[in-house]
């Protein structure tokens, strides 16, 4: 990708080894945990079990260090860490979206890590300025369109252009309640300010073909069914859906590639990432796991598990991801998505984006 096959592709999840796995009902509905072994690293993960367990199993096989884990949504895990304080058993937090990682650092549940390995493996704009968290995968949030009804060369250009009248009744979006859209709008605020961004989001709302969907897959299914013609999704959702249904007339378009200033800033990218907890009793081994996850072997596994891109610039993308094409990524520090998240939520609410 133009300046990205080393960086989406800045580069365009994660994984417990315990004695057994069982539902945990006391701490949250749907939460799962591996039974902790004596001395095992404990990871709180907002990534689902099938995206983290294979990595933790391999780490244990290679190092002899057992890993136990609890999975839940990002918000409950952060609240749990805050409530537990210095008594937390957690050594690492893995979560999705830079906004969630920024919030974890802000409330003091993560500890800065001084690691030449992580500095070499994770580009500077994909980690916390104080090195309290590090990206592990990259996902672009880009435009998806009906390839049998939309001419990308003539019809598509930028996120902003989706607010134009030609898309009236043709746009599908995921709910604004999801952090992925909050981070996209936050980086738009960083690029062009609040008033301009609010006008754009209001235009998106005016162009909606139907109420926002619960997830990106439903957005793409609606486009494929002819209910709308264009939407905004994370690339890995597209990769998973097309792998299952390659006949779907859907394609990706990389917005904001041409022009000066905000309009040419590049496609929005976000991350999943991790940090060592502030009250970990095994910080050296937790750092070892974090470094291992940023190295080549684990980065390839992360791509294979969920079609997210490696952050490590030495790791090439998978062939099917290469087929999506080259693009320029927005180089804004992903921490801005967290800093401006509250402003983005308020803006979307004023614009009527639900």
pLDDT given for residue 39 in this prediction? 83
Among 275, 277, 276, 272, smallest CA distance to 97 is for 272
> Would strands 92-96 and 41-45 be described as parallel, antiparallel, or unpaired?
parallel
**Distances from the Cα of 280 to the Cαs of 161, 188, 328, 338, in angstroms?**
47, 36, 38, 24
pLDDT, position 37 = 64
Per residue of the chain (354 residues), what is the pLDDT tens digit? 444 333 333 333 333 333 333 333 233 334 555 445 668 999 999 999 999 999 999 999 999 999 999 999 999 999 999 999 999 999 999 999 999 999 999 999 999 999 999 999 999 999 999 999 999 999 999 999 999 999 999 999 999 999 999 999 999 999 999 999 999 999 999 999 999 999 999 999 999 999 999 999 999 999 999 999 999 999 999 999 999 999 999 999 999 999 999 999 999 999 999 999 999 999 999 999 999 999 999 999 999 999 999 999 999 999 989 999 989 999 899 999 999 999 999 999 999 999
What's residue 31's pLDDT?
A: 52
Nearest to 274 by CA among 75, 111, 72: 111
Residue 7's pLDDT is what? 36
| Strand blocks (E) in 48-97 | 67-71, 92-96
pLDDT confidence of residue 10: 33
Residues 6+ apart with CB under 8 A from 63: 288, 292
pTM for the model: 0.85
205's CB contacts (< 8 A; 6+ apart) are 351, 352, 353
Q: How far apart are CA 306 and CA 194, in angstroms?
A: 33
Residue 252's DSSP bridge partners are 144
Question: Which residues contact residue 21 at a Cβ distance below 8 angstroms, ignoring those fewer than 6 apart?
Answer: 32, 33, 34, 35, 49
Choices 3.30.70.270, 3.40.50.80, 3.40.190.10, 3.20.20.110: CATH for 21-138+268-315: 3.40.190.10
**What are the extents of the domains in the chain?**
21-138+268-315, 139-267+335-350
The dihedrals phi and psi of 266, each to the nearest 5 degrees, come to 110, 170
| Fold category of 139-267+335-350 in CATH | D-Maltodextrin-Binding Protein; domain 2 (3.40.190)
C-alpha to C-alpha distance for 216 and 66, rounded to whole angstroms: 35
As a whole number of angstroms, the distance between CA 5 and CA 310 comes to 10
Whole-number CA gyration radius for the chain = 20
């Amino acid at each position: 990708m133009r300046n990205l096959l080393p960086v989406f592709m800045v580069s365009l999840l994660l994984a417990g080894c315990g004695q057994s796995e069982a539902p945990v009902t006391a701490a949250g509905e749907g939460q799962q945990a591996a039974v902790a072994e004596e001395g095992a690293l404990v990871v709180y993960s907002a990534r689902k079990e099938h995206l983290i367990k294979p990595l933790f199993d391999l780490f244990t096989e290679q190092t002899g260090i057992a890993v136990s884990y609890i999975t839940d949504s990002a918000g409950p895990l952060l609240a749990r860490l805050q409530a537990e304080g210095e008594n937390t058993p957690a050594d690492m937090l893995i979560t999705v979206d830079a906004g969630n990682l920024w919030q974890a650092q802000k409330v003091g549940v993560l500890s800065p890590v001084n690691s030449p390995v992580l500095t070499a493996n994770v580009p500077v704009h994909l980690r916390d300025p104080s090195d309290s968290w590090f990206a592990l995968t990259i996902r672009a949030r880009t435009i998806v369109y009906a390839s049998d009804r939309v001419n990308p060369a003539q019809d598509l250009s930028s996120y902003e252009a989706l607010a134009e009248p030609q898309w009236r009744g043709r746009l599908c979006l995921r709910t604004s309640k999801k952090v992925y859209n909050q981070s996209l709008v936050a980086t738009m605020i960083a690029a062009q300010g609040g008033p301009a961004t609010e006008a754009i989001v209001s235009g998106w709302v005016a162009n909606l073909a139907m109420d926002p969907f619960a997830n990106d897959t439903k957005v793409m299914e609606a486009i494929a069914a002819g209910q709308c013609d264009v939407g905004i999704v994370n690339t890995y959702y597209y990769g998973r859906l097309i792998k299952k249904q390659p006949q779907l007339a859907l394609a990706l378009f990389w917005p904001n590639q041409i022009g000066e200033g905000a309009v040419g800033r590049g496609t929005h990218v976000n991350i999943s990432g991790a940090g060592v907890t502030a009250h970990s009793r095994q910080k050296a081994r937790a750092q070892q796991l974090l470094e291992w996850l940023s190295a080549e072997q684990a980065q390839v596994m992360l791509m294979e598990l969920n079609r997210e891109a490696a952050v490590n610039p030495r790791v090439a993308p998978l062939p099917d991801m290469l087929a999506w094409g080259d693009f320029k990524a927005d180089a804004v520090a992903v921490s801005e998505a967290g800093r401006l998240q509250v402003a983005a939520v308020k803006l979307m609410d004023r614009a009527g984006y639900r």
